[in-house]
Structure 1
Amino acid sequence: MPDLPLLGAAAYLDELASVPGLRAWIEGRDLEIRDFTALGALQGEAWRDIAGRVKAEFSTHAGRIGLHGPFLGFAIDQPDPDLRAVVQDRILTALAALEEIAPNGQGHMVLHSPFTTWSGFNTGTEMDDQEGMIARSLALLTPAVRRAEAIGATIVIENCEDRCPHERVTLVRAFNSPALKVSLDTGHAHYAHGSTAAPPVDAYVRAAGDLLAHVHLQDADGIADRHWALGRGNIHWHGVFMALRARKTMPRLILEMAQAEDILVSAHYLMAEGLAR
């Protein structure tokens, strides 16, 4: 049905080429390229080769194109100024890649939240460092946010260990920029719910409100980060989509699977449930 939200997917370029039917299915939908997350992908000129391949293979793509930004080995609240410069360089290079593959100004880049299980459990204690984490994130990310504003891109902050659904929302609001929004990973939220007594997944949707611009859809068991096909875990998908439909604008809905073959399995599940198309 045309009023149902349109699904997209995150995948590596090789997966898009090798999984039967996936390349045809993604046409006209939101696409998130995962290749830039690899170690070394944003050093030297390596990113240009990846960007060139994306441009060559998706030159006529009618949907929006984004990428998952770097995250291995660092957090965006890095306190050391020397290491902060390295992280800033990686993120700005990823934005340069995004500008190459999404020159129409509709690209998105995913970065990981700095909030951890440790920081969550220390909230309200004498070891509470929420204000410090926001201040350090402001210091590190401000150049990238300004660059994203200039090229019309959107950076989204994805939950990983976040126990409180409001932490990323407070962080994003501190920047006061249209180029920085909130991302939700459903499996990460479900892990936090099942293993660290966080609220259920739909509470994360409601906490973000209209700042929610991007969702990684994956199923899980509430114990670990599974990235299972939707329907194989125990997330209450009708509740999640009820919360999504209550928003003024539907975020980009990106299926992110451990096995790329499960992208189409998940899409068919949501279609059969009458939740998406």
Structure 2
Amino acid sequence: MPFHQTPPKIGACLKASEIGDHRDWLFEDQRDIELQDFGSHLALTSEFEDRIAAANAALDGHWGRRGIHGPYEGLDMDNKDPELRPLITARFIKGLEAAERVGARQMVLHSPYSRWYQWNRLAKPNYDDTKLNRIHDVMVPIVKSAEDLGITLVIENILDVDPSSRRMMVDSFGSQYVKLSVDTGHAHLARRMSGAAPVDYFIRDAGEQLSHVHLQDLDGHADRHWAPGEGEIHWPEVFRALSDCPCKPHLLLELRRKSDIPAGFAYLKGLGLVQ
């Protein structure tokens, strides 16, 4: 074992219809599950009740930690149009309703920070504050709803270059129900595309705010969502950083081909990094 602790248990991100294919692995050890059925407009409108019913049926017998990936299609929490911001707020609150009804205690949302922000943040007066004020305009009602429901919002890096920007945004809400997520593939892609720090730095920067991790590998050219071991990420250092984390984040394989979940798990387990 490479670290002075028991390797962490990992789970996976799946749609309700895919859980059955991995049921034994997930349910025997009550692994973390993240449902990916509630990201689209249809999922939160005309298909909402059907998806809730399908998720609860698929999760019957699972008592482990659960989360959902929240809505994201066309939904930027930093929207400059004041007439559109309430629509984004409403969509995220509908996502929280979905989370509550399927027994999830986390909802993943996408970060509003990017290379454009990083390169321009000192080019205009009050650029940081203006952006943060727009984010709060969208997010404050959502944070209040999350607090009322006891569901943690975890903000995932997407195009982030400097992880501290997202961390400071999370800190600005002053709520234990807003935390950080790190997507290992997105972090490595930002390193290759934008000169960001390596994956383990994103994890270390998050510190006690880290509550959620997407585990995926890639080649540095595109957001591949390959199984660990197929790409460029240095996994031992990622898990060294995780071993120093004061919290116990949800750790989830988020793979494009769900059939690769056993191979990704076997690779990390073979390195002594997970169980």
TM-score (ref. length: structure 2): 0.94
Give 3-state SS (helix, strand or coil) of 1:89's partner: helix
Q: Give the aligned partner of residue 83 of structure 1.
A: 84
Q: Give the aligned partner of residue 55 of structure 1.
A: 56
Q: Give the aligned partner of residue 42 of structure 2.
A: 40
Structure 1 residues 71-80 or 118-127, which shifts more?
118-127
Aligned residue pairs: how many? Answer: 270
Q: CA deviation at 1:233?
A: 0.3
Q: Give the aligned partner of residue 102 of structure 2.
A: 101
1:74 and 2:72 are equivalent in the alignment: no
Q: CA deviation at 1:140?
A: 0.5
Q: CA deviation at 1:96?
A: 0.5
Q: Give the aligned partner of residue 232 of structure 2.
A: 234
The amino acid of 2:57's aligned partner reads: A
Is contact 2:17-2:58 (8 Å) kept?
A: no
Structure 1 residues 77-86 or 23-32, which shifts more?
77-86
Give 3-state SS (helix, strand or coil) of 1:182's partner: strand
1:16 and 2:19 are equivalent in the alignment: yes
Q: Give the aligned partner of residue 7 of structure 1.
A: 10
Identity of aligned residues (%): 40
Q: CA deviation at 1:150?
A: 1.0
RMSD: 1.6
The amino acid of 1:25's aligned partner reads: W
TM-score (ref. length: structure 1): 0.93
Distance 2:191 2:252 in 1: 21
Is contact 1:119-1:128 (8 Å) kept?
A: no
Alignment of 1:1-277 (within 5 A): 3-17=6-20, 19=21, 22-27=22-27, 28-44=30-46, 46-102=47-103, 107-126=105-124, 129-277=127-275
Structure 1 residues 128-137 or 260-269, which shifts more?
128-137
Distance 1:218 1:110 in 2: 16
Distance 2:15 2:112 in 1: 25
Distance 2:51 2:159 in 1: 29
Distance 1:137 1:265 in 2: 39
Give 3-state SS (helix, strand or coil) of 1:82's partner: coil
Q: Which runs of 5+ in 2 are unaligned?
A: none
Q: CA deviation at 1:186?
A: 0.4
Give 3-state SS (helix, strand or coil) of 1:274's partner: coil
Give a deviation string over 1:149-201, Cα, whole Å, max 9, x none.
11111000000000001111000000000110000000000000011100101
Q: Which runs of 5+ in 1 are unaligned?
A: none
Structure 1 residues 179-188 or 6-15, which shifts more?
6-15
Distance 1:148 1:93 in 2: 11
Distance 1:148 1:193 in 2: 32
The amino acid of 1:226's aligned partner reads: R
Q: CA deviation at 1:128?
A: 7.3
Is contact 1:238-1:275 (8 Å) kept?
A: yes
Give 3-state SS (helix, strand or coil) of 1:70's partner: coil
Give 3-state SS (helix, strand or coil) of 1:41's partner: helix
